Amino acid sequence: MAALNQDTSALLLEQVNQARAQGTPLQIHGGSSKAWLGRPLQGQRLDTRSHCGIVNYDPTELVITARAGTRLSDVVAALQANQQILPCEPPHSDDGATLGGMVAAGLSGPRRPWVGSVRDFVLGTRVITGLGQHLRFGGEVMKNVAGYDLSRLLAGSFGCLGLITEVSLKVLPIPRCQAHIALELDSQHALQSLAQWGQQPIPISAACHDGRVLRLRLEGGEGSVRAASERLGGETFAANWWQDLNHRRLAFFNDPRPLWRLSLPNTSEHLDLPGPQLLDWAGAQRWLKSDATPDQLRTLASRLGGHVTCYTPGHTDSPFQPLPSPLLHYHQQLKQRLDPQGIFNPGRMYAKV
> What is the predicted pLDDT for the residue at 147?
47
pLDDT computed for residue 213 by the predictor: 98
Task: Output the CA angle 109-112-118, nearest 5 degrees.
Answer: 80
CB atoms within 10 A of CB 98: 30
CA 267/CA 283 separation, integer angstroms: 8
| pLDDT value, residue 145 | 47
Q: Distance between CA 285 and CA 174 in Å, rounded?
A: 24
Q: Cα separations (Å) of 215 from 107, 148, 208, 273?
A: 21, 39, 5, 21
pLDDT along the chain (353 residues), means of 10: 83 98 96 92 95 97 97 96 97 86 97 96 96 90 57 94 97 97 96 94 97 97 97 97 96 98 93 95 97 96 96 96 94 94 96 84
Q: What is the pLDDT of residue 148?
A: 54
Residue-level pLDDT at 1: 47
Residue type, 332: Q
The pLDDT value given to residue 12 = 98
Q: What is the pLDDT of residue 139?
A: 77
Question: Any idea which fold 9-173+334-338 has?
Answer: 3.30.465
CA gap 137, 131 in Å, rounded? 16
Q: Domain extents for the chain?
A: 9-173+334-338, 177-310
Give me the pLDDT at residue 141, please. 62
Closest CA to 262 of 326, 308, 331: 308
Instruction: Confirm if 216 and 207 have CB atoms less than 8 A apart.
Output: yes
Exposed/middle/buried for residue 130 (C-beta within 10 Å: 0-12, 13-18, 19+)? buried
Tens digits of residue pLDDT in 9-51: 999 999 999 999 999 999 999 999 999 999 999 899 999 999 9
Q: Give the closest residue to 169 by CA, choosing from 61, 81, 291.
A: 61
| pTM score above 0.85 | yes
